[in-house]
Amino acid sequence: MGIRTEDCVLGIELGSTRIKATLIDNEHRPVANGSFVWENRLENGVWTYRLEDAVEGVRACYAELKRDAKARLGETITRLKGIGVSGMMHGYLALDADGRQIAPFRTWRNTITGQAAAELTERFRFNIPQRWSIAHLYQSILNGEESVGCIAHLVTLSVYVHHLLTGRWAVGVGEASGMFPYDDAAKNFDAKRIKLFDALIADRGFSWKLADILPEVLPAGSVAGILTKEGAALLDPDGDLLPGIPFCPPEGDAATGMVATGAVQPRTGSVSAGTSAFSLQVLERPLKGYYTKIDVVATPTGRPVAMAHTNNCTGEIDAWARLFSEVSRLCGGEDDLGELFPKLYRIALDGAADAGGMVAFNYSAGEVLTDVKHGRPLFLRLPDAEFNLASFMRAQLYGAIATWKLGIDFLYENERVVSDRMLGHGGFFKTPGVGAQILADALNLPVYTMETAGEGGPWGMALLAAYMCRAEDGESLEDYLEKRVFSGAKSEMFLPKAEGAAGFAAYMERYKAALSAERASGEVV
């Protein structure tokens, strides 16, 4: 008997450049996919997405997945075992009591909450990054925004879409830990720090308390709602999809990254590298201190995780690839980006180990790690640089992870945090053997990729939905992933090469020296 769609689970992720959906079978294998391309907008100095685009994108993404399932499985989807929604973490999405948006959606990419983040970090004695929802909320209060008084729901993008489909305001632990500090002992937002925040704004006269406007926190394995009639109609206007399908708690892209690599146990680590880059290292113990350069978030089951995060990663590589595609088309050659990307990645390994005297900054947005407030993509080279395509592409790949590497170095120097294994996933690793080798050289450590390295967030979200369907067995998420998902998974190990490690180290010295130029570019251009 073939695969039946009613035995499958669905993961949907609203990523930075694409909304993606993956349908998996009982063996956790992707059997159908869908996607929708969208872009963030810089409006009035704020990086944002329009919520109507999110709704349109989810619907279009599901329609493509539905067609793919029909073509590959021979069935029209009517029922599923489970669904999960994930999205970009953090940010500010404020809604009134009727669920209407009352302020522009501010994404994780913004660096406009410096005052709020600094004050809350000091008050909480816990790092509150500028990206976090609570920093955006407090900055809106400091700015005197009238809409703050009307807030009934402070949510993330995944929580918003989850509510549209289920009618429930709920959030997974991993996503929750990027909104406000999480308390694993209480399995909820940190009550002591909620009281500190309420006391901080007590004289503002708002009708709400913080706990009133935050979503309900649920751990992995929980049923966080069911698909409503309205939700089914939103996903599938054709009317084939039936309501009643259970949903797992919505999660952020950090949580789906951990799940997609199986890196949820202490001393495991993962690197997600796409539009942004972040590493997640599951801790054996809480950090001794708190640092503005390092986030502390949680796995979907509540284990503490140290995160080094950068707002920018592969976006500048994508931009150059589009330019090269135009040149190729002008000359009558290949212009298919799907063919061009792997060629550009692979040629980078033929470049000079130190990128031949070139430095690339991929800063479309600012970066807290390097104290850059206004990002400007910037390319620099010495007059006698080895200015050829191979070294140019190596400089771009190095530049994509250079700022993130500074965060990793800071974490090790201050806390000696180590991982037994580091797994890579996301677009940076999609071309076999390139991104992983670059990362191994950068870290001077072995890096692993699995055959699923390119699957990413929607697959990780589908795994969480699949776990929900089995959670009554009493099996932990950690055991579920280790024994049922990754036990037979093929992985490849990449060892650092002496020449590559030395070359990356030399590049980093040049990169750090050039940071002043990057900072200045945002002030004058």
Q: What string of DSSP letters covers 332-360? A: TS---HHHHHHHHHHHHTTS-TTGGGEEE
The residue extents of the domains of the chain are 94-154+180-213
| Rounded CA separation 249/86 (Å) | 9
| Rounded CA separation 133/156 (Å) | 8
- The arithmetic mean of pLDDT across residues 158-175, rounded, is 98
3-state secondary structure of 304: strand
Could you report the per-residue pLDDT of 5-40, keeping only the tens digit for each?
999 999 999 998 899 999 999 999 999 999 999 989
Could you report the per-residue pLDDT of 327-376, keeping only the tens digit for each?
999 998 877 888 899 999 999 999 999 999 999 999 998 998 999 988 99
pLDDT greater than 80 at residue 488: no
Chain centroid to Cα 197, Å, comes to 27
506 HSE (CA, 13 A, CB side): 15
pLDDT of residue 453: 52
Q: In the numeric block, which tokens belong to residue 308?
A: 């080094």
226 HSE (CA, 13 A, CB side): 9
What does pTM read for this prediction? Answer: 0.84
| Rounded CA separation 429/522 (Å) | 30
AA identity, residue 180: F
Q: In the numeric block, which tokens belong to residue 290?
A: 């708190």
| Rounded CA separation 320/327 (Å) | 11
> By C-alpha distance, which of 224, 223, 241 is closest to 232?
241
Bridge partners, residue 281, by sequence: 269, 306
Helix (H) or strand (E) holding 153: strand 153-155
AA identity, residue 72: R
240 HSE (CA, 13 A, CB side): 14
Q: In the numeric block, which tokens belong to residue 105?
A: 């959606």
What are the b/e assignments for 238-277, b being 16+ CB within 10 Å?
eeebeeebbbbbbbbbbbbbbbbbbbbbbebbbbbbbbbb
- The arithmetic mean of pLDDT across residues 385-413, rounded, is 95
